[in-house]
Structure 1
Amino acid sequence: MFEWITSWFQEQPISPELVKSIESAIESNKVLVYSKTYCPYCRATKDLLNKHQVEYKLVELNTVPDGSQIQRTLQKISGQKTVPNIFINGKHIGGNSDLQALEQSKKLAQLLT
């Protein structure tokens, strides 16, 4: 009985195919943002990138069927559990506060060119 109940709370294993798919997206997009539509930090990230008029690939995790699996896989890849999860030039940048810090230090524009 205990095993049956605990099985409700066990997460499914992360699929190697999903890891490869995410890694491919990271490599093939200059700027890639994993976000959620209702997140204010995600909105701030998108606003800043739009201000720089940069094209970026956006994945809204709360609107795709496997969003929670993608977020768990991103945690495995980047070590970051939260959104936004930002990659520029194939490198994990971090979240919104990291992106804003790059902007404040005048390094963001250089990364985006």
Structure 2
Amino acid sequence: MPATRDLVNELIAKDSIVIFSKTYCPYCKMAKQVFESLKKPYTAIELDDREDAQDIQEVLGEITGARTVPRVFLNGECLGGGTDVKKLFESGELEKKF
């Protein structure tokens, strides 16, 4: 899956905030709402709209240790999932990362 790995790395590098998401996932919505409340634009990669979703989740599993969504990246660093992002936001740590 080197092509998928390249694609994932490219997507992560392209924007400062990238959320690998599924449109119906409540944790994905939670993560997006955090960035919306901070007025920070993000790029959402909606995996349920993609044919290569399975492959992308495999690669995310390899690089982040989890294949679950959301996988949230800020400046190339994986912040984790929806709950992780919400905790960072509530503690004030998230703003320090910008």
TM-score normalized by the length of structure 2: 0.93
Deviation at 1:106, TM superposition (A): 0.4
Counterpart Cα distance in 2 of 1:57 and 1:66: 17
User: Deviation digits for residues 11-63 of structure 1, max 9, x if unmatched?
Assistant: xxxx1011011112212210000000111111111111111111111101001
5+ residue gaps, structure 1, are 1-14
Q: Which of structure 1's runs of 4+ aligned residues deviate more than 2 A?
A: none
Residue type at the aligned position of 2:80: G
* Match among 45, 52, 56 for residue 38 of structure 2: 52
Aligned residues: 98
Counterpart Cα distance in 1 of 2:90 and 2:32: 16
Provide the identity percentage.
Answer: 33
Give the structure with the larger helix fraction.
2
Which structure would you say has the larger Rg? 1
TM-score normalized by the length of structure 1: 0.81
Q: Secondary structure at the match of 1:33?
A: strand
Aligned match of 1:104? 90
Q: Is 1:37 the equivalent of 2:18?
A: no
Comparing both chains, which one has the higher relative contact order based on Cα–Cα distances under 8 Å and sequence gaps of 6 or more?
2
RMSD: 1.0
5+ residue gaps, structure 2, are none
